[in-house]
Amino acid sequence: MQLYYEIIENTLIVKLKGELDHHVAQQIRTELDEMIINKRSKNLIFDLKELKFMDSSGIGVIIGRYKNINKLGGKVAVVEVSEKIDKIFSLAGLYRIIGKYKNKTDALKSV
């Protein structure tokens, strides 16, 4: 799993590449929490274009970051969601709490 990020104003944009599963969930969780705190991010956008697989641990990572950002009064969004990952998000009910957008530009306008 590789993690890339950028900051635009008060929004942390995280690009996940690879597989978000139980093998890397704790490491990703820790890295994201540190970035949110250190970069003073209010909003979080996950770019999932290159995410190939996600299991229940990955869902936990997403929900946990949503809870943290929500406490700060911010929003979480996902962009560039593949069909496979979209199905996981839908089945898990994540779209009830997390916005889905076509691209980063659209997401930035909404958060």
- CA 81 vs. chain centroid, Å, equals 11
Give tens-digit pLDDT for 7-49: 999 999 999 999 999 999 999 999 999 999 999 999 999 999 9
Considering the entire predicted model, what is its pTM?
0.95
Helices (H) and strands (E) in the chain, counts: 4, 5
Q: What whole-number distance in Å separates Cα of residue 107 and Cα of residue 87?
A: 20
Domain locations along the chain: 2-110
Q: Are 68 and 93 in contact (CB under 8 A)?
A: no
2-110 CATH fold = Transcription Regulator spoIIAA (3.30.750)
Nearest by Cα to 44 from 1, 4, 14: 14
Question: Quick one: tokens of 111?
Answer: 């958060």
Give tens-digit pLDDT for 39-91: 999 999 999 999 999 999 999 999 999 999 999 999 999 999 999 999 999 99
Q: Are 73 and 14 in contact (CB under 8 A)?
A: no
Q: Are 46 and 82 in contact (CB under 8 A)?
A: no
**What pLDDT score does 59 carry?**
97
